[in-house]
Amino acid sequence: MSVRLATVVLTMTAYPSIAAGALRTAGFPSCPGCAYFRTGPASVCSACADPELVRPGPDACVVCAQRLELNGSCPNELCRSPRRRIDKIHAIGYQAGPLRRAVNDYKYRGVRGLADVLGRILLTWLDEHMAADPPGLIVANPSFVGPGGQQFAHTEAVLTAAARADVDNRWPFDLAAITKTEPTLPSADGQAWSKRVSGSELRDALRILDPTRTKGQFVLVYDDVCTTGSQLDAVAGCLLDHGGAARVEGVVLARAPWRNSQNAQPSRKTAAKRAT
């Protein structure tokens, strides 16, 4: 079976030996068929994936990155809640098209090697969007692997890949600052009310093992998908209350557009029009 080929043109990369020219890639998310699948670098993977991502635009909520209603309001009640603990949630893209396929292949279809590619995309996003206000610590929404839990530590694997691609050690990744001690209700594809229950249950399962690592820090929490933000808010509450963090924000690979929104499945063409 042939794979779709894409050409990525670079003027500079982290590796001078491939600094210029046209690089033949398999095309995101057909990454396992690509010569750069195992080694990268991040600049190649990000340049290949970028045209396939639907990025949040000016019609996105500044707090949770959900698409705004026509009247300019955000439909997510978390953004209006006086009990919200997380400052804001950044989104690298919307959960649509190739990015949705990539996340599903990675989490549910056994293509675990995609952690390397997703980690490189995250690393490039950090370089492009967080350099002016860098976090003191980058952690994962922690996984629990075991009976009733996840099959593998999927968020931690992406952070590990990002740290491995960060050859200059620019970003403070920490996989042990916060842990999950027991399984909780699955939140994937659940309705909003069940996601809020899952978030509350998650809060009771989280532990900060060494508060000196998080005390006074601006902590950025990574997750793969965000629908309501309740899980990220629960992690933020733990980091603030038990870890002494000064501020917590989140970043997700894929922001899920709500099904009842008229903008529920934005296309790349629609997103491009809105951005102009």
CA distances from 263 to 100, 212, 242, 259 (A): 16, 43, 38, 8
The helix (H) or strand (E) run that includes residue 128 is helix 114-129
Residue 247, strand partner residues: 218
pLDDT digits (tens, 9 = 90+) for 149-200: 989 999 999 999 999 999 999 999 999 999 999 988 776 545 554 455 556 7
User: Among the three residues 37, 52, 67, which one is the final residue of a domain in this structure?
Assistant: 52
Return the pLDDT at 246: 98
Sheet holding 247-255, edge to edge: 89-94, 247-255, 218-226, 137-140
Domain tally, the chain? 2
Give yes or no: residues 16 and 92 share one domain: no
- C-alpha 7: how far from chain center: 25
pLDDT of res. 271: 45
Report whether 18 contacts 235 (CB < 8 A): no
Look up the pTM and report it.
0.85
Same domain, yes or no, for 141 and 251? yes
SS3 call for 250: strand
Q: Tell me: do 215 and 234 sit in the same domain.
A: yes
pLDDT digits (tens, 9 = 90+) for 224-259: 999 999 999 999 999 999 999 999 999 999 999 986
Residues 98 and 138 in one domain: yes
- Rounded distance between C-alpha atoms, residue 89 and residue 118, angstroms: 18
Do 62 and 172 fall into the same domain?
yes
| CATH code (residue 200) | 3.40.50
Structural domain of 5: 1-52
Structure tokens at 242: 């038990």
The reply to whether 116 and 98 lie within a common domain is yes
Q: Given the structure tokens 């996984």, which residue do they identify?
A: 143
Average pLDDT over residues 69-75: 93
The span from the CA of 102 to the CA of 109, in Å, is 10
33 shares its domain with 153:
no
Same domain, residue pair 212 and 241: yes
